[in-house]
């Protein structure tokens, strides 16, 4: 079975604090892709990052950074010096597929609602 | 380049009515998806299409049908709407990432 767990339902931080959103996944496949999406109050889904299972390099993009650890099946997301505009729901997602690109399994976590208080 | 477009944006149906949600993408992607989003449930995959002419069930396909009309278009049909289908529906297509449409907010009374 394939599963994505975002155990933190809601997080509140004061502006300029750092915050880490956790994502733990389960899959038996060796090839898979992990994603983070942001859903602001306006409702659209905004792509943040994609990682494939063979690339464990951590990544930093401005105030955002991601820590991918296959040993613990985690793909955590950290926002440094949070801002009010970071307030949103954040989703972690897992996609696995056959090599032929046919059958796919897509699983989203239930999301973490982040509130940044000014 | 519009990306992924969905129509309508809002819809209210009565129980038992039918409707089709339309989705189109202009990025020449092979894979397209339909999700529903419910409070506390995240996004759940209803159906997807890995290529033109093929469709497969996702996690929650009951009560829905889909048509991959051509490479650009992937429609979702509710034959007999039920209150349990009240949700926000997202269409997506997949290249490097999944590109999502703006969503359709459907209420079934």
- Identify which of B45, B48, B90 has the shortest CB distance to residue A45: B90
pLDDT, residue A99, reads: 52
Q: Which residue, chain included where needed, has tokens 């069930």?
A: B57
pLDDT, residue A102, reads: 57
Residue B2 reports pLDDT greater than 90:
no
Confidence of residue B38 (pLDDT cuts 50, 70, 90): very high
B31 touches chain A (CB under 8 A): yes
Q: Among residues of chain A, what percentage have pLDDT more than 70?
A: 95
pLDDT tens, position by position, A41-54: 999 999 999 999 99
Q: For the residues of B54-109, what is the DSSP string, one character each? A: --EE-S--TTEEEEE-SSSBEEEEESS--GGG-EEEEEEEESSSEEE---EEEEE-
Q: For the residues of A32-46, what is the DSSP string, one character each? A: EEEEEEEE-TT---E
Strand pairing class (A74-79; A88-97): unpaired
Q: B49, B98, B104, B106: which to substitute to probe chain A, counting the most A Cβ within 10 Å? A: B98
Tell me the chain A residues in contact with residue B2 when contact means C-beta distances shorter than 8 Å: none
The β-bridge partners of A92 are A36
**CB distance A110–B44 less than 8 Å?**
no
CB atoms within 10 A of CB A13: 16
Which bin fits B3, alpha (ψ -120 to 50), beta or left (φ > 0)?
left
- Identify which of B43, B50, B96 has the shortest CB distance to residue A50: B96
- Identify which of A45, A47, A103 has the shortest CB distance to residue B56: A103
pLDDT tens, position by position, A75-113: 999 999 999 999 999 999 999 876 555 567 889 999 999
Structure-token pair, residue B25 = 């993408």
Over residues A64-83, mean pLDDT: 96
Radius of gyration of chain A (CA): 14
Residues 69-88 of B with CB under 8 A from A: 88
pLDDT, residue A106, reads: 85
């Amino acid at each position: 079975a394939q599963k994505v767990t975002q155990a933190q339902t809601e997080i509140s931080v004061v502006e300029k604090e750092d915050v880490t959103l956790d994502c733990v996944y389960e899959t038996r496949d060796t090839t898979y892709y992990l994603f983070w999406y942001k859903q602001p109050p306006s409702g659209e889904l905004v792509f943040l990052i994609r990682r494939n299972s063979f690339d464990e390099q951590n990544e930093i993009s401005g105030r955002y950074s991601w820590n991918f650890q296959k040993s613990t099946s985690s793909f955590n997301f950290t926002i440094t010096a949070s801002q009010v505009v970071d307030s949103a729901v954040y989703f972690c997602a897992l996609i696995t597929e056959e090599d032929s690109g046919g059958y796919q399994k897509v699983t989203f976590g239930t999301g973490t609602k982040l509130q940044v208080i000014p | 380049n519009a990306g992924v477009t969905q129509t309508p944006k809002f819809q209210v149906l009565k129980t038992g009515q039918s409707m089709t949600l339309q989705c189109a993408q202009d990025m020449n992607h092979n894979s397209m998806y339909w999700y529903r989003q419910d409070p506390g449930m995240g996004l759940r995959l209803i159906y997807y299409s890995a290529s033109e002419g093929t469709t497969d069930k996702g996690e929650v396909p009951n009560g829905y049908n889909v048509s991959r009309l051509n490479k650009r278009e992937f429609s979702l049909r509710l034959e007999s709407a039920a209150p349990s289908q009240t949700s926000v529906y997202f269409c997506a297509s997949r290249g490097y990432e999944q590109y999502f449409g703006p969503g359709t907010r459907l209420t079934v009374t």
